[in-house]
Amino acid sequence: MRPVERPIAGMLALSICGSLALVLVYAAGGQPQLEGTLLAVSLGALGAAVIAWALRLLPQEEVTDVRETEPSPPAVRAAATSALERGEEQLTGRRTLGRLLLGALAALVLVVFFPIRSLGPRPGRSMFHTEWQPGTFLIDGEGHRIRDGQLAVGSVITVFPEGHGGSPVSQALLIRVDPAQLALPPGRGTWAPKGHVAFSKLCTHAGCPVGLYRAAAHQLLCPCHQSTFDVLRGAAPIFGPTTRALPQLPLRIDEDGYLRATGDFSAPVGPGFWELS
Amino acid sequence: MIRRLVLWLDDRLGAASFARKALRKAFPDHWAFMLGEVALYAYLALLVTGIFLTFFFTASGEDVVYQGSYAPLRGERMSAAYASVLGLSFDVRSGLVMRQIHHWAALVFVAAIVAHALRVFFTGAFRRPREINWLIGTSLVLLAMGAGFTGYSLPDDLLSGTGIRIAYSVLLSIPVVGTWAAFLFFGGEFPAPVTIGRLLALHIMLLQGLILAALGAHLAIIWHQKHTQFRAPGRTEDTVVGSPLWPNYAMKSAGLGLAVFAVLAALGGLVQINPVWLYGPYDPTTVSSPAQPDWYIGWLEGALRLMPNWELRGFGHTIPEPFFPGVLVPGLLITIYALWPFIEQRLTGDREVHHFLDRARAAPRRSGVGAAALTFVVLLTLAGSNDVMARFFGVPVEVVTQVLRGVVLIAPLVAGWVTYVVCRELKAAEGRPVPAWHVVRRGPGGGYVVEDEEE
Amino acid sequence: MSRRTVTVAAVMVVLGATVVAAARSRAQTPSPPPSTPASAASGDVRRGADLYALHCASCHGVTGQGTDDGVTLRGIGAAAVDFALSTGRMPLADPQQPMVRRASAWTRPDIDALVVFVTSLAPGGPPIPAVYPAGGDLTRGQQIFAANCAPCHGTAGQGAAVGEGADAPDLYEATPLQVAEAVRIGPNPMPRFDVGVIDQHDLNSLVRYVLLLRTPADPGGLSLGHLGPVAEGFIAWLVGFAGLVVIIRFIGTTT
């Protein structure tokens, strides 16, 4: 073997070793780091050998191609356009038939919409309502009803309407604050019994769950695009791309001490859409 | 033996006349022309590893109880899709390394495409007669990003599921047809059980079919038109100089392909990517921090984070805020990007055929526009990780956001202007001789005397 | 050495370093935690009073009533005092700075003494919680963590920014008791999770899962700090793509 071939031979040998080792590792049960590294060795050494072969062993030659000039010579272009026109004349020559042909093709386009329409249900009014009704009990993730006293001030829990545990659309945050600090929008004076406030957990920007609560500052932060809401002022937006407050759920505490909704959210939940007024 | 194969093919297909010319075809060797090849081989790696993955993935949103070997999730309810990815990662031999190679290949694939597109842009390779290939290339960039997004959303984990939710909301924000578009595309109000199956159909069938068709056309046109090349002594617009396809260029290319696979294999085995078992199954009632998409979607995410809270409301309708950063701005950018060859022709009046490439300095205005656009998109991408940057630099995330809002508007203009001026100066300097140095001496009377340079 | 050889060598070194780093990147090693309290009631109240007067009264008031520089400690509860002192959050030299974990300045007897003294000022507040991780359920812990903790602390407990300059810290250094205390008291800016929200079994399970996060499985290799797609994007460009650019510069020409 000539001296210039030796490193290439070495790389090829290394590649063979890598492949064999990989087979052994795999047969022994596999291990991700070894699999990846040995595969990299067997492929990389082979690749290095091939490249070195191309750069060092092959005669380094250059070839020159002549570019074909586009466009085609005028005679050929004329022949092509006249061949096209011959067909065109046949179709457009018979005018009524030609128009009807176009009409039939256009009408077929309408038919295409049927399978597209089948892809999903019509949007409808579901965008405007959730599963919360007057009197619905608030439940936690395990389905247990929430009682007054269960939450301490500064605490937060995700709640759902009873019977719809885990509902993505009706999910809400129940937070307990000091009632003296509340400054809710007008008309919501009875919505927060004993400092319990509930808001839709769906961010009004792009629908991520608003999962971060800075308790001391009473601010909710959405991690997706940093929309921030002031709980004490009815989850009003104070920073970030969102334009609307989190809809609030009106609450009351019943005779047995359970927390219940007195109606649906104050506004449609989640991000905006065309039909939202 | 190969000679007998070629003759056998010629007996049936008349292949020898094609082979005669093809095997000696000139391939320019400049390293920057290999960026597209890197993307091509990354795509090949994606196909091979992807086929393996499809044999194990269950594209169903149906609830199952996990009973595999990852203890912290045993007994938990999750979608069949997520459970199948856990199974692939922990209970299928070489499953995890295949998953990781596939995902790293996707990230490197789009990176190589972007680098290749930048090379084509700044060297003016999109000029006549290559406008068609520019349009095909634009579609390939978009298809690749779409394939990536649908792909990493298949495991139905908490992080990618959040991204799907955001995509749904951006669709919703489209005026007039938004709710219909979202309901039809996703199969109902979010979260719809059929969405995962649709993502799979898109990812492995529709998008791959379109990519393969576009890729085939892209390569065929390059083959037919022949590659562009840089100016050099002895080269003309009517010829192309390079290595012959066989054996030189084929070996170099095969070696590059093996190198791409090797790098991806090394990453796939040594660097963990997308550890879905830590994120947990997708639950629409919770979310994780930090929440970012894969890097090539980062510019859209950054736009969503930076856009101020402006919304249009009136006459009983709303154009919600996400429409502007999520649909309008990207749509404008992509349109200008796609139509750039024609825009430049209109602005410069240059409709000539070009087979020689420009150096960036030779087209100062194009380079300036490109630098501005690139700066804009890069800053948006960085903005997508504003919370990570905030923690890293110890700065409040609100400050990072406010600063980036200003920077993202100003910096592209500055970068574009600086690039334009620098290119213009470099271009002008090429024509001028280097000015001679002069020696200046203080004369005995106190004044200064310029002496000519000694030879 | 030729330029090409240098390039090849550089690539080898980088790959070799990555292999070594991947093999060693496994468990985070937590710093040794201070010992858990034997019993809060065993503290010496007189010693506590002396320590309080010396170190705490200037910001929290002589009777714990609070001042502009420090919140009221009346009714704050034993858990809050123990947590703040054992994690080194207190004493806080500059009241404007956020409370973060530091090396604790206190010995265990000092902490117990202060706990007894501060809780004697006024009743109320969460007591020092019991926690028994081994009795918890790992899967239940993962569920509670994902629902309540991951949004701020990250899915791997690596910590994250939570706005207004505050960070939810990583969970790799807290003792099981400190984790339980934080859950029960909600140290600023964290909300609190009382027994009504996370009961004792859930708390045990949660702490068990948090402890697991210190030795995460990471079977895929280097974890990149569990930062997710941001880190992965950087590696894809700076290692994957950059490595390939080195290789194509080696293969190709420059004319």
- Within-domain flag for A207: yes
Tell me the mean pLDDT in the region B219-223.
95
Say yes or no: A154 and A251 in one domain: yes
What pLDDT digit, counting tens, does each position of B245-293 carry? Answer: 989 999 999 999 999 999 999 999 999 999 999 999 999 999 998 999 9
Low-confidence ranges of chain C (pLDDT < 70): 1-11, 14-42
Chain A neighbours among B 226-245 (CB < 8 Å)?
226, 237-244
Q: What is the CATH number of the domain that holds A240?
A: 2.102.10.10
With CA atoms as reference, the chain C residue closest to B267 would be C240
CB contact under 8 A, C250 and A51: yes
Can you give the three-state secondary structure of B163-196, one letter per residue? HHHHHHHHHHCCCCCHHHHHHHHHCCCCCCCCHH
**Quick one: pLDDT at residue C3?**
61
- Within-domain flag for A71: no
What pLDDT digit, counting tens, does each position of C126-175 carry? Answer: 999 999 999 999 999 999 999 999 999 999 999 999 998 889 999 999 99
- From A187, A216, A203, select the one nearest A244 (Cα to Cα): A203
What span, in angstroms and rounded, lies between the C-alpha atoms of A243 and A204? 7
Say yes or no: A152 and A252 in one domain: yes
Chain A neighbours among B 33-92 (CB < 8 Å)?
none
**Quick one: pLDDT at residue B455?**
47
- Within-domain flag for A87: no
- Within-domain flag for A23: yes
Say yes or no: A149 and A251 in one domain: yes
Between A113 and A25, name the one with better pLDDT.
A25
- What is the number of structural domains in chain A? 2
Q: Which two tokens stand for residue B154?
A: 């298949």
* pLDDT at residue B63 tops 90: yes
Residue A87 CA, chain-centre distance (Å), reads 49
Domain boundary among A12, A42, A57: A57
Confidence of residue A277 (pLDDT cuts 50, 70, 90): confident
**ipTM of the complex in this document:** 0.92
**Pairing mode, if any, of strands A259-261 and A63-66?**
unpaired
With CA atoms as reference, the chain B residue closest to C234 would be B295
Say yes or no: A144 and A53 in one domain: no
Backbone angles phi, psi at A136, to 5 degrees: -65, 135
Phi-psi region of B202 (alpha: psi -120 to 50; beta: other; left: phi over 0): alpha
What span, in angstroms and rounded, lies between the C-alpha atoms of A247 and C177? 38
Say yes or no: A53 and A142 in one domain: no
What pLDDT digit, counting tens, does each position of B158-184 carry? Answer: 999 999 999 999 999 999 999 999 999
**Quick one: pLDDT at residue B454?**
53
Chain B neighbours among C 2-31 (CB < 8 Å)?
15, 18-19, 22
What span, in angstroms and rounded, lies between the C-alpha atoms of C72 and A221? 27
* Number of residues that this document lists for chain C: 255
CB contact under 8 A, C219 and B230: no
Q: Which of A51, A155, A171, A176 to mutate to test the interface with C (most CBs of C within 10 A)?
A: A155
**Quick one: pLDDT at residue C30?**
42
| Mean pLDDT, chain B, integer | 94
Q: Following CA atoms B154, A224, B264, B198 in sequence, which dihedral angle do they give, to the nearest 10 degrees?
A: 20
What span, in angstroms and rounded, lies between the C-alpha atoms of A52 and A45? 10
pLDDT over 90, % of chain A: 78
CA separation, residue C104 to residues C56, C92, C174 (Å):
15, 11, 12
Domain boundary among A41, A57, A73: A57
pTM attached to this predicted model: 0.91
Half-sphere exposure of B3 (CA within 13 A, CB side): 0
Say yes or no: A257 and A149 in one domain: yes
- Within-domain flag for A72: no
Domain boundary among A22, A42, A57: A57
Chain C neighbours among B 346-405 (CB < 8 Å)?
385, 387-388, 390-391, 395-398
**Quick one: pLDDT at residue B430?**
80
The secondary structure of B317-364 as a DSSP string is EEE-TTHIIIIIHHHHHHHHHHHHHHHHHHHH-------BPPPGGG-H
- Within-domain flag for A182: yes
Binning chain B into helix, strand and coil, the percentages to the nearest 5 are 65, 5, 25
SS3 assignment, position A66: strand
B-chain CB neighbours of C157 within 8 Å are: none
Structural contact between residues B403 and B386, judged by C-beta atoms closer than 8 angstroms: no
Contacts of C238 by beta carbon, 8 Å cutoff, 6+ apart: none
**B254, B287, B319: residue with CB nearest A208:** B287
Stretch among B314-328, B377-391, C15-29 having the lowest mean pLDDT: C15-29
Confidence of residue A91 (pLDDT cuts 50, 70, 90): confident
Task: Please name the amino acid found at residue C199.
Answer: D
The residue segments making up the domain with residue A26 are 3-57
Task: Please name the amino acid found at residue B93.
Answer: R
- Within-domain flag for A24: yes
Q: Which two tokens stand for residue B39?
A: 């993307």
**Quick one: pLDDT at residue B278?**
94
**Pairing mode, if any, of strands C166-168 and C160-163?**
antiparallel
> ∠ CA B274-B290-B397 to the nearest 5 degrees?
150
Q: Considering all CA atoms of chain A, what is the largest pairwise distance in Å, rounded to the nearest integer?
A: 97
Backbone angles phi, psi at A50, to 5 degrees: -65, -40
What span, in angstroms and rounded, lies between the C-alpha atoms of A33 and B6? 42
**Quick one: pLDDT at residue C9?**
67
**Quick one: pLDDT at residue B407?**
97
CB contact under 8 A, A214 and C194: no
Give the Cβ contact number of residue B406 at 10 Å. 10
Tell me, what DSSP letter sits at residue C167?
Answer: E
- Within-domain flag for A123: no
Domains and CATH numbers, chain C: 33-128 (1.10.760.10), 129-217 (1.10.760.10)
Confidence of residue A97 (pLDDT cuts 50, 70, 90): confident
